[in-house]
Amino acid sequence: MPTTKADLPTPALLIDLDAFEANIRHIFSQCRAAGVSLRPHAKTHKCVEIGRRLMAAGAVGISTATVAEAEAMVRGGIKGVLLTSPIVEANKIDRMLALVERDPTVMLSIGHKLELDRLAARAAETHRTVNVLIDLDVGDRRTGVFPGEAALELAQAVKASGNVKLRGLQAYAGHSSHVKGYDERVKSSQTAVGKAVETRKLLERHGFDVPILSVGSTGTYDIDSRIAGVSDLQCGSFLFMDNHYRMIGGRGSAVYEDFKPSLFVLTTVISSAHTDRVTVDAGIKAVSTCVQAVPEPKDRPGLHHKWTGDEFGIITADAGVALPKLGDRLEFIVPHCDPTVNLYDRVHACRGDNVEAVWTISARRETPLV
């Protein structure tokens, strides 16, 4: 195993453990103060080692976006795994039911009667009972049933199914997470989460026990955790942060700095023939380009990255700032953390320049590596 960053072949994915641990401490202290639980989202890291660290820090479980993520976390011994995405395919339903068999604390989320019918039918055939949250569409227009009467109807269908048990609601407001400006974000998230809280009350008035209402994103963690009726947060990006999130602005600040960037792509300057630029070995295969934010050189003000192809990036410098030299190493804060992690099989957990551990990104494939 490489023992220092200098030993690593580039491009390489790094975690700065000091910043990563500070981010975990910060979100848990906010959750504890607000009296809500955290079921952090593994879509960000897809890594069992990280899931275990979050459980050790006090998470009530781990949220997952894919069946492979759920499989990796359950096989890694993590309890309270929630699949937040809908599934309608028989293969995925059977894989989730196999996880339920192994660990009854696994939960699925459902947002349509057809999902329920397929799940209930397979659960009945295999004599299993499965816990679910109802997924609400509170404005994201992506997945889930509408809040209010439509959700109540689905809850009644769950009750009638017999072997599918309702544990609560999930309401991810993706349209609120990156709203620029704190005050605007408060308005957007309170409106969205308010619909979920009202739905929780409606179900309770109709006799349902609704212990869980899971909401939240990194951009709204401190807004949502203060809303009465919310029981869990399911934030993910807070672990790593990225430039897309930093641009949304914080409470009274242009840059959102509640969490520190802890994920970096390490690169090497591999060409310096020109006076106005150098080339590094990180292009679009090494850093996800899915958002407008750009990779930002860490601790190197005045240097800028420009995409120049699959394997390469161009570095330019402001007037008066020296360009890096051939063979120099540069680290970049990434534009978007989740899809960047998804490009790598391993992440190097570093303390300063030392590589303390190498963690497998276990669930980046359709079936996990563990």
Ligand X SMILES: Cc1ncc(COP(=O)(O)O)c(C=O)c1O
93 within 8 A of 114, measured Cβ to Cβ: no
The residues in 62-91 that bind ligand X, with binding defined as CB under 6 A, are 84
Please give the Cα distance from 64 to 349 (Å, whole number): 22
CB of 245 to ligand X, least distance (A): 7
- Distances, alpha carbon 186 to alpha carbons 27, 71, 224, 357, 359, in Å: 18, 35, 9, 38, 36
Nearer to ligand X, 20 or 312 (CB): 20
- Distances, alpha carbon 208 to alpha carbons 145, 151, 153, 212, 332, in Å: 17, 12, 12, 12, 49
Residues binding ligand X: what is the number (CB under 6 A)?
A: 15
Q: Is 161 in the site for ligand X (CB under 6 A)?
A: no
Q: Is 225 in the site for ligand X (CB under 6 A)?
A: no
Number of Cβ atoms within 10 Å of the Cβ of 286: 25
Please give the Cα distance from 103 to 302 (Å, whole number): 52
The residues in 330-369 that bind ligand X, with binding defined as CB under 6 A, are none
Q: Is 234 in the site for ligand X (CB under 6 A)?
A: yes
CB of 224 to ligand X, least distance (A): 11
Structure tokens at 316: 């330019």
Q: Is 240 in the site for ligand X (CB under 6 A)?
A: no
What does residue 92 show for φ and ψ, rounded to 5 degrees?
-70, -40
Nearer to ligand X, 24 or 314 (CB): 24
Nearest to 307 by CA among 336, 283, 330: 283
Q: Is 217 in the site for ligand X (CB under 6 A)?
A: yes
| Per-residue binding letters, 175-194, with ligand X (x by CB under 6 A) | --x-----------------
Q: Is 39 in the site for ligand X (CB under 6 A)?
A: no
Nearer to ligand X, 8 or 59 (CB): 59
Nearer to ligand X, 258 or 331 (CB): 258
The contact set with ligand X (CB under 6 A) reads 41, 43-44, 84, 172, 174, 177, 217-219, 234-238
